[in-house]
Chain A
């Protein structure tokens, strides 16, 4: 039902293409480069139009004709980043286009000066105080025009940006919503809006224009709000609707898969992306993270060298190189490159966290703590930084202290087993077994990525002499390991089998025990014990078979454990 509606909405791809082409030229005229880039990428993914289908250029009004010369001059200054000069020549122009460029130049000039001034401010105390001085004047002028209703889609967008920079977030959201209503095709306005939406309730409460671009926005929003399933569904719909060639969508899906740690899917998509768009730098840091996790050294090396050739002074490039060095265990160099990334963009969140990881590797805990703290300052919701802080304190042997940080991380990612396992380990160190058990069980329930929780849980039960529960966990663990197919390095199937063998032997379930013992023999470290157990079993069986049968029956009945555990019986177990 929904699909059908979507298809009909996207049915007319030609129309969409036309809209895109016209908005590209509008954005270009106004110097909105990123929006133009986004629209062009999308337009490129659609089939080319025949000549007579091309959209006509927008109507040329009297005002435009009057301002034409000034506008052309100013635009060339603007392109050369001489914003003040551009603004000077645009003063007094009355067409909408000229007015936008005039205001935009003033805004950018203020931003540029702000960046320059941070270098020589009057001391560290003024650091937070440096601000774009033009913002207030712009706000005053724009708000006057806004109340008079004289703003078009682009100027509304600019007004929103100004408000956001002044930290007037509520007003900014309203203005951005107005902007997307006035000009739905301007992606920049949507993107700014997405930065201001903090939760799903807020997203639902917004009244957005019914346009095909809204689907892109919603998908983007779902990814931001970590609602990956919904996001993937949205993107899938978009692909089916005809945007299958869009590199933007592919990259977004890959990032989404990265977020839910579906590494193989994400890798495949990134590889596809690089084939289609070999000189792309955006999102390549995410790609390198994936390669890093998979320890794919040659691929990472190739990627790093490739990116350096394209542009070595990009944040993404620096991050990729940092990851590359980190994988080669050259942590000093890795930290250096992350620092370079931070110099290029101090608000680059990933780099702070990654730098923290590097310092951890170098055992420089204090620097690691600082890096993580910076990451948290940039974004309080960065669970990796909280997790990293927890790890740092764990290394410093402060299990109680690190609990707070792990808890924070867990709060942010309630369904991530790694935090839960870390929490469980800390509790175990504090000999709080009850809490530890809860954590491990929960980690298993939410889908354990490292497959460690069950093993730890089983060992914990073993320590507490809860043999039934321990056996159950080992059983689940073995099932889990074999069902996931691939071979894990740290798998301790032999430990599990050994314990199970002993357990069955003690409960006099000799068939199961001998099965376990036989399987034990497949593993080097457990072979001897397996054989010993087999011998024991055959001995006991010989003893049992000699006495008469009627003596055996009551005996075995009595000795059967009261609660014989079936592997899938979890009722008694749910903590």
Chain B
């Protein structure tokens, strides 16, 4: 059969073929209409019909067992009917088909022509009637084979003792079954990868499918998706191109322009190729492919495709690290014009992300997100709702509002899926969930709740196994938490190897952490060099958060060489930058540094007033470590002030309280070095106050810790 000069494999255009398994399903349906079954049993059987129709061919044993679980009486009847056919003659099968209730006449039965069952029966009858003489006989033979394989004696199996290829044992899928299988797996790959088949198993399934039906193009596409999972660029490119080569054939009908025809699939082929290269980080290749897609789309006036290209273009620009705000804005406008809500709000989300890093005001961002949310709920774009929530979490965290971030993350994690397939299931494993969970883990780590953190990480590990796409997110998060923990506990030798791992995942972060370790190990020159390098890099890429952090670290380096006055301009600059970008936690950190510098420069009153500005946000939102450091600094300021004032008693008592509070925070984190400082100061204070008993106790605690740590204590004054 030829169309457009192309040989079609599917001669009759029939998608369904009668197989012995289908005959058994027909027999089941027949029994269900014919015999009296109790209501609960009927209900169970009814629930079974759809999976049986859509699933792959089962062996008779499996089939009968499934039916028997619902209704043993029907299973027996079905078996009997099959037995009649298989042990009888060809005419028994012919008789069976002639007795089936014809969907066109049975008005009041379930098998009426428009019902699911009726449709299936019509398909089967049509397919059966089209069989040729020898095909009917062949069908009968295979039915006999099918029946006797399960039920009959297995004596004749003995001679087949030579192991067969596994693929030989598995039967082919029918068109419908294959489509269902592919759709299901593709959906799972997108939304809940863990429930999909393992990459190797899926590959085998697909190979099997393609072996029996090489013309089934969609299988190639799934193959492409599957290869992407295991980061196999070679196979995924191959499958993608193969799929589109096939698709171009199926969508022929001659129109090369416009919405239909193979011109369309050509454009999307190029676009998909671009996305493939993008996924593997080949930005230059992706760019070329994208340009090609854009050119073809422009030539054929396909605005929708162009719009998709545009949104890929700004994504690509972003990934390459250049500013793409203008492009994104254009894209949003165009998408709104062509009524593509998905692309429009995706663009807005991207704009919000860029805006957040560039220091747009918070209310503008939140407004934009709220507007898109309305759009999402209207169109039930559940995926975008998830992204939106995750984004809000990230923005709140960036601003240093941990409570708000926590609340948004919880909101996302408790949301129920809107997708029809996974309806009611609480979690998918999309990127949004990974991001939210990572934030949750970091937030808990900040509060020193390490057992909760390890639980969350464990959950992440299960949800996003290491080979999957989003696994890098939690890997980095896990490493960062571990690093912070080791640094807080003063175990620098444990933190150092983590730096390499962090660098592998994120170069900038890795460099920063390396500088921190070097600083802690007193290798200031190296640390300074790295920080300089980092600052230049971050200013180029407009990574404000990192710039501020680098400035603070540099200032700390200046302290070590007692260059307190040189640190001041840096700190002020950092503070200004943090305030400009509304980064509250970093601003408080900068204030802390500033206060410390002032303390060191001998203006404790000034330091105390500056510090008061930061205490409130830190206590409200900050990490435990920050709280402890703030209290320690406050106490030191108070002590210094007390040194000058006549009514020293009052300030000193205040300082005792503050120190106690700081000690509580530090002991929560097991931060022994700082705890030692606290005890030292306590002992001094008590001494000054003449409280010998408390002094001795503090001194003893100090001595114990000092022995344990064994490293010579750095001068108390030198550390924040």
Contact = CB atoms under 8 A, between A and B. Distances in A.
A122 interface: yes
Interface string A416-440: 0000000000000010100000000
Given A122-B139, A128-B213, A366-B252, A399 B5 contact: no
A281 to B, nearest CB: 25
Nearest to B159: A140
Contacts of A570: none
Given A120-B135, A140-B159, A370-B6, A396 B266 contact: yes
A378 to B, nearest CB: 11
B4 interface: yes
A49 B237 CA distance: 62
Interface stretch (B241-249, B627-635, B705-713): B241-249
B490 interface: no
Interface stretch (B170-178, B345-353, B562-570): B170-178
B64 to A, nearest CB: 23
B270 interface: yes
Contacts of A396: 266
B28 to A, nearest CB: 21
Interface string B191-215: 0000000000000000000011111
Main SS of the interface on chain A? helix
A313 B215 CA distance: 29
Main SS of the interface on chain B? helix
Most buried by B among A143, A335, A366, A369: A366
Contacts, number: 105
Interface string A338-366: 01000000000000000000010010111
Contacts of A8: none
Interface in A118-148: 120-129, 136, 139-140, 143
A401 interface: yes
Most buried by A among B6, B211, B215, B269: B6
Contacts of A366: 4, 6, 248-249, 252, 262
A188 B288 CA distance: 51
B292 A398 contact: yes
Nearest to A339: B7
B4 A123 contact: no
Given A143-B162, A364-B4, A125 B245 contact: no
Nearest to A371: B6
A282 interface: no
Interface residues of B, number: 52
B154 interface: no
B4 A367 contact: yes
B292 A400 contact: yes
B268 to A, nearest CB: 12
B598 to A, nearest CB: 57
Most buried by B among A117, A127, A143, A367: A367
A550 B273 CA distance: 66
A369 B159 contact: no
Contacts of A335: 5
Contact of B5 (A364, A430, A432): A364
Chain A interface residue bracket vs B = 35 or more
B249 A122 contact: no
A136 B157 CA distance: 12
B160 interface: yes
Contact of A401 (B5, B159, B252, B273): B273
Interface string A352-393: 000000010010111101100100010000000000010000
A455 B674 CA distance: 75
Contacts of B291: 400
A126 B237 CA distance: 29
A404 interface: yes
A367 B5 contact: yes
Given A396-B266, A400-B270, A124 B245 contact: no
Contacts of B14: 123
A121 B285 CA distance: 46
A122 B252 contact: no
Interface in B6-24: 6-7, 9-11, 14, 17-19
A121 B19 CA distance: 12
A397 B162 contact: no
Given A120-B135, A125-B175, 18 more contacts: A122-B138, A125-B212, A127-B9, A127-B213, A129-B172, A136-B160, A143-B162, A364-B4, A366-B248, A367-B5, A373-B242, A377-B214, A396-B266, A398-B270, A400-B270, A400-B273, A401-B241, A405-B241
